[in-house]
Structures are given as C-alpha cells and as structure tokens.
Amino acid sequence: LEAKKQRRAQKHSLTRRLTQEQIQPGTPEPVEGRVHVHVQTELYLEEISDRIIEVDVECQTDEFLDRPPTPLFIPAKSGQDVATQIEKGELFDFDIEVKPILEVLVGKTVEQALLEVMEEEELSQLWAHQRAFAELRNAEFAELQRLEEQDRRIREEKERRRLEHLEKLRKQKETAEKIAARAFAQRYLADLIPSVFNNLHDSGFFYDPIERDIETEFLPWLMSEVEEELQKKVLGRMMLDSLIRMVVEKRLDEFSHPPPPAQTRAHAEEPRTTDAAPEMSGEEDAADQPVAEKEETDQPVAEEE
C-alpha cells in the first residue's frame, strides 16, 4: 500500500508539472530564416560595450567639509521611445480562449483518472497473477525439496550399502589373511620353539640352580680351602726339612772335628753313652730318610694339584 501511494503521488506530481508547463506561455518558435536575439527590455536603455570608459578627474576640497550624499545614478536615455496602442478585445477573449484550455484540462484529468483506474486494475491482476505464481512456485519448490530429500536419502542408503559391502569384503580378506598367516606361523614355528630352547639350553640360559650354586660358590671355596691347606702342609714340610738339614749339618760339623783328649777320656769312661748316641743318630737318619723321601714323593703331587 505504501509503494502504491508513493507511485500515485509521483504520478500526480508529474501530471501537475506537465500541466503547468503546458499552461505557461512561451516564446513561439522563430519563422524560417530568423533567429531569436537577446535584447534589453528595461525602461532606460544602456549602451553595452566590451571596454569600460575610464576618465581621471581631480578635485580639491576644503578641509573639514562635510561630504554631500551621493546622488542616485540614473543612466541617460538612448534611442527612441516607441509605443503601440491595443484596443480592448484585440489580443485575448477570456470566454473564447478559456474553452479549449478547460476542455484540455478536463480531458487530461479524465484521461489520467482512467489511466489510474486501468493501472489499479492491472496492478490488482498482476498481484493476483503474482500470488498464483508464488503459490505455484512454493508448491513446486516444496515438491523439489521433497524429491531432493528423497534422492539424498537414496544416495546415502546406496553409499551406506556400498561401504558395508566394502567393509564386509575387507573383513573377509583380513580374515583369510589372518587364517593363512596363522597356518604359516604354525608351520613355521612348529620346529622353532624346540630348537630355540635347545640353543638356549646349550648356551647356558637354562641351568640347575643347585648345580650352578655348587659350581659358582662351593667349588671355588673348596679349591681355595684345599690350596690353603696344601700351602700349610708344604710350609710345614719345608720347615721340617730346614730343621733336619740344620741338625744334620750341626752333627756333621761335630763329627768332622776330633774332640780334645779330655773329652775322649770322658767318652771312653762312658762308652754306653757314646754308643747310644750313634744309635740315636742312626735312628734319626733313618727317621729323616723316610721324611725326605716322603717330601720328594709329595712335592710332585702338590705340583700336580
């Protein structure tokens, strides 16, 4: 409604402006061979020239003399005054001249009214067609949306079925590959585990803890104790050998030097004592000899151990 009112107001303003332009009198077009010229229509004519006439004038006034008011400039007349007498009724008769103007105004008003009525009817028909077209378009758009939604559901269902089929084929292939891999692994690992355990057992990764404890703890301790005991025995035998050697060397020194005469008498008076001494020395030699032999026999044994 607002748009309709605006269009109607625009049309009225356009019609009013055209009417005013038609009513205003204008200058008629010049006849053929003549042109319009701009002329002065003022009461007093004035000569027009491109250059303004300048004149230098000097005057001397008295001091402290009041300046008179400037007179009004009235240009001088030029040319000739011409007048034309027009009698009453010669140029314009209102009753006669106004009739065609009124006919034109009334005709234009009626025509504009008819045009507005026709335009309103045409607009109402256009609005009816537009409403019908909008209803038809909305119905077609709703049907198009329904068909698009149906097509979309069909495409989604098709894509979902395709993906399910691909997933099924992938799972079947994966299952077949797993079964083949499991069978191959079983065949490949059938002899692998015993061989691995055998290699590990041969390498010493699997062992008896008691045997390992005996080998790492008991046998080293036993060997150290045996070695220490043997070292003690060897040291005792060396001490005994050194003592026997010292005694034998001392006895040898004593028998190698003859005793003085006083001692020979004393020995002669005590024959039993001297006789017993050699026997003891012989027993000592006999006792020393097996010890030395035992030492000689034990030394290689120690070295072998």
What's the mean pLDDT in 271-280? 42
Distance (Å, whole) CA 86 – CA 7? 48
Residue 176, pLDDT above cutoff 70: yes
Per-residue tokens: 182: 């499991």
Work out the average pLDDT over 176-199.
85
Write the burial class of residue 45 (CB in 10 Å: 0-12 exposed, 13-18 middle, 19+ buried): middle
Q: How far apart are CA 12 and CA 116, in angstroms?
A: 10
Instruction: Domain ranges for the chain, please list them.
Output: 209-253
Is the predicted pLDDT of residue 65 greater than 70, yes or no? no
pLDDT at 165 over 60: yes
Average pLDDT over the chain reads 79
Q: DSSP of 30-84, one letter per residue?
A: PPTT--------SSS-----SS-----------TT-PPPPPPPP-PPP-S-----
Confidence of residue 23 (pLDDT cuts 50, 70, 90): low
* Predicted local confidence at residue 247, as pLDDT: 92
> What would the two tokens of residue 27 be?
């200058």
Where does the pLDDT of residue 96 fall: very low under 50, low under 70, confident under 90, or very high at 90 and above? confident
Note the pTM of the prediction, 2 decimals: 0.25
Tell me the mean pLDDT in the region 19-44. Answer: 75
Say whether pLDDT at 71 is over 50.
yes
Please state which of the ranges 13-27, 127-141, 221-235 shows the lowest mean pLDDT. 13-27
**What average pLDDT does range 144-161 have in this prediction?**
94
Q: Return the C-alpha torsion angle 195, 197, 203, 206, nearest 10.
A: -160
Contact (CB, 8 A) for 247 and 283? no
Q: State the SS3 of 256-274.
A: HCCCCHHHHHHHHHCHHHH
Is the pLDDT at 257 greater than 70? The verdict is yes
SS3 assignment, position 211? helix
Name the H helices within the chain.
Answer: 2-23, 94-189, 192-203, 209-213, 219-256, 261-269, 271-304
Closest CA to 45 of 83, 71, 73, 75: 75
Which two three-digit tokens encode residue 137? 């378009």
Task: Report the C-alpha gap between 208 and 217 in whole angstroms.
Answer: 14
